[in-house]
Amino acid sequence: MPELFRFPNPVNEVAARLVAAGVVLMSAAALALQAEWLVVVIALGFIARVATGPTLSVLGQFVTRVLTPRLPFAAKPVPGPPKRFAQGIGVVFSVASALLLLVFDADLAGWIVLAALAVAATLESAFGFCLGCKMFALLIRAGLIPDSVCEACGDISARTEAALRRKAAASA
């Protein structure tokens, strides 16, 4: 697969949370202004991020190239597959919202679906609680997603040990 179409693994959690904050801001603006066109922009952004991570996403590029490097936070690598799964859920919600608004003339339902997406993005951006990642973990535990899809997801001890080593190195 060409490098352009590879989702990053690992993903910088700081950047992921900032992208979620961008989704919250755009969703809030779309809801407040009843801007259906902005729902299409949100959906296209999710589609781009599922396909390529930040590569083809305007929001992803802004966050990874402009915003994140200027912040005083160290990168926090987390496994990519759960984040990609979460972006896929974002595709489902944002495309459903756009279809309800633009094709089916079901405005109330469309805005409710977008509001639900905004709530999930708020949980990720403000609290680091990724609903899609939690669903991904449940699907792995249930055997519906093979462990091989995300070996790092199942090896919590390796991530914990690596985090402890980084913390010790930072304090030395």
Q: What is the mean pLDDT of residues 55-70?
A: 95
Answer for the pair 154, 140: CB distance below 8 angstroms, yes or no. Answer: yes
In sequence order, the 6+-apart residues with CB closer than 8 A to the CB of 41 are 26
Q: pLDDT (tens digit, 9 = 90+) per residue, 73-91?
A: 999 999 999 999 999 999 9
Q: Is the pLDDT of residue 40 over 60?
A: yes
Q: How confident is the model at residue 157 (pLDDT cuts 50, 70, 90)?
A: very low
Q: How confident is the model at residue 152 (pLDDT cuts 50, 70, 90)?
A: confident
What does the pLDDT read at residue 114? 98
φ/ψ of 142, rounded to 5, equals -80, -5
Pairwise CA distance, residues 114 & 120, whole Å: 10
